[in-house]
Structure 1
Amino acid sequence: MYVLCTFTGEGAPHEAAPRGRAREAYAKLPASLDKAEKVTNTQEAAARRQVTVRLTKRRPTKAGGATAGPATAHPTTGPEPLDVDPRDGEPASRPTSPATPLTPAQAFDGLYAFCAPALVRQAYLLSGRRELARESVEQAFRLAWQCWPEVAVDPDPAGWVRAATHEYALSPWHRFRPRYRHPEPPPAEAPDRALLDVLLTLPATYRRTLLLYDGVGLDLPETAAETEASTPAAAYRLLHAREAVASLLPELASPAVLHRRLAEVASAERLRAPRPPAVRSAGERRARFWTRAAIAFTIAIIGATALTARTAPTRYEPPVPAGETVQGVPPRAARGTLSDAQLKLRAKLRSETQNGPDRLLPRPE
Structure 2
Amino acid sequence: MPTGGKAGRRAAITALIVGALGLLACGKSQPGGAAKEVELLNVSYDPTRELWRDLNEKFIAAYEKESGTKVTIKQSHGGSSTQARAVIDGLEADVVTLASFLDTDAIRNKGLIQPNWVDEFPSRSLPYTSTVVFVVRKGNPKGIKDWPDLIKPGVEVITPNPKTSGNGYLSFFSAWGSVVLRGGSRDDAIKYVTELYKQVPVLDSGARGATTTFVQKKIGDVHLAWENEAHLEVREAKGELELVYPPISIRAEPHVAIVDGNVDRKNTRKAAEAYLKFAYTDEGQEIAAKHFYRPTNEAILKKHAEIFPELRLFAITEIAKDFPDAHKQFIGEGGVFDTIYSPKK
Shorter-chain TM-score range:
under 0.3
Between structure 1 and structure 2, the one with the greater Rg is 1
Question: Higher helix proportion, which one?
Answer: 1
Question: Which structure's relative contact order is higher, taking Cα pairs within 8 Å and 6+ residues apart?
Answer: 2
* Alignment TM-score, normalising by the size of structure 1: 0.24
Q: How high is the TM-score relative to the length of structure 2?
A: 0.25
